[in-house]
Amino acid sequence: MSFPEIIVLVTAILLTITTAATPLLLAAIGELVVERSGVLNLGVEGMIVIGAVVAFVMAQITGNAYLGALFGMAAGCIFSLLFGFLTLTLVANQVATGLALTILGLGISSMIGENYVGQAGAKLEPIAIPLLSSIPLIGPLLFDQNILFYLSIFAVFGVSWFLFKTRLGLQLRAIGDSHGSAHALGISVIKTRYLAVMFGGACAGLAGAQLSLVYTPQWIENMSAGRGWIALALVVFASWRPLRVLAGAYLFGAVTIGQLHAQALGFGIPSQLLSALPYLATIVVLVIISRNKRLTLMNTPASLGQSFVPDR
């Protein structure tokens, strides 16, 4: 293989990795904010799949993939409100409600998408950034991508800035660590958590839109295929740090795609082992991270998963 050929292959592999990592990143960064506010929403999978179906159907109806993505985002957001209402207003158990949201999302999405299965649809085309996109290797990778890729990267740095550099971000983290104290300080716990949950829903909706408008531009039932759960794992993996979510999503994407290439090259490594690699990698990193107990505890939102009822 000559050098230019290798560059082409590497670019192609890296491009595939970004496509695989983007939905995980979008969903995980949303869930990170939700969990930082002390809410555990296990319904990520359901919100993704709702986002995917609505994005695809609306893109078909309007003929515009961008509108589709916007509707997908809105759908994820609205769907998450259901979770918010049940757990924040009615104080239902978050774990059970989240699981129910996933099951409901899978069911509703099948119903909405029934007449759209297998149709070829509009897709989000890459937007080339002038000049930058002509840099070899990096150009096509970072500057000739679809809008959701740019958004996912932007979201990571945006969330990082928001959480650690703004007053509102500090309040949100305070609520996640001790909702009682935050309430005593006069911060509106429920309102902030509603906003966080909606942000998480919107991000999951966008992740779904990425699946049905970029990854495989069509609607297929259950097309999220467990990515919501991986996103949830990534948040823990990243110990609730935005930049580590970025690293985790890309590591996961790289191992997933890398193992397919290793197989195609005929390395003769058992494929079951290769398929398990992304999960093994996650476990290994989790073990390494959790060895330092103090650090883990410092990052974990202390009120995570606990319901809040203001006493006055």
Partner 1 sequence: MKKILLALSTAAVISLAASAAQAATKVCFVYIGSKTDGGWTQAHDIGRQELQNHFGDKVETVFLENVAEGPDSERAIERFARSGCELIFTTSFGYMDPTLKVAKKFPKVKFEHATGYKTADNVTSYNSRFYEGRYIQGQIAGAVSEKGVAGYIASFPIPEVVQGINAFLLGAQSVNPDFEIKVVWVNTWFDAGKEADAAKALIDQGVDVLTQHTDSTGPMQVASERGVKAFGQASDMIAAGPDTQLTAIVDTWGAYYIKRVQALMDGTWESQSTWDGLVDGILTMAPYTNMPDDVKQAAMETEAKITNGELKPFTGPVTKQDGSEWLKAGESADDGTLLGMNFYIKGVDDKLPN
Give residues in contact with partner 1 (CB under 8 A). Answer: 9, 12-13, 16, 19-20, 96, 106, 110, 114, 117-120, 211, 215-218, 220-223, 225-227, 256-257, 260-261, 263-266, 268-272, 274-275
User: Which lies closer to partner 1 via its Cβ, residue 78 or residue 260?
Assistant: 260
In angstroms, rounded to a whole number, what is the distance separating the alpha carbons of residues 137 and 21? 18
| Shorter beta-carbon distance to partner 1: residue 216 or 290 | 216
Number of Cβ atoms within 10 Å of the Cβ of 248: 27
> Which C-beta is closer to partner 1: that of 222 or that of 306?
222
CB of 12 to partner 1, least distance (A): 4
The helix or strand, by DSSP H or E, that contains position 301, with its residue range, turns out to be none
Closest approach, Cβ 252 to partner 1, in A, equals 12
Q: Which is nearer to partner 1, 82 or 211 (by Cβ)? A: 211
Residue count of the chain: 312
Got the DSSP string for 244-298?
HHHHHHHHHHHHHHHHHHHHHTT----HHHHHHHHHHHHHHHHHHHHHSHHHHHH
Nearer to partner 1, 130 or 270 (CB): 270
**CA 114 – CA 125 distance, rounded (Å):** 25
Whether 202 and 77 have beta carbons less than 8 Å apart is answered as yes
Q: Which is nearer to partner 1, 1 or 131 (CB)?
A: 1
Cβ 117 to partner 1 shortest distance, Å: 4
Are residues 310 and 193 in contact, defined by beta-carbon separation less than 8 angstroms?
no
- For 307, residues 6+ apart whose C-beta sits below 8 A from its C-beta are 87, 91, 92, 93, 94
Any idea what the Cα angle at residue 99 is, between residues 179 and 287, rounded to 5°?
A: 70
**Location of structure tokens 């069509």:** 218
Task: Compute the least distance from the CB of residue 119 to partner 1, in Å.
Answer: 8
Q: How far is the CB of 256 from partner 1 (least distance, A)?
A: 7
Q: How far is the CB of 271 from partner 1 (least distance, A)?
A: 4
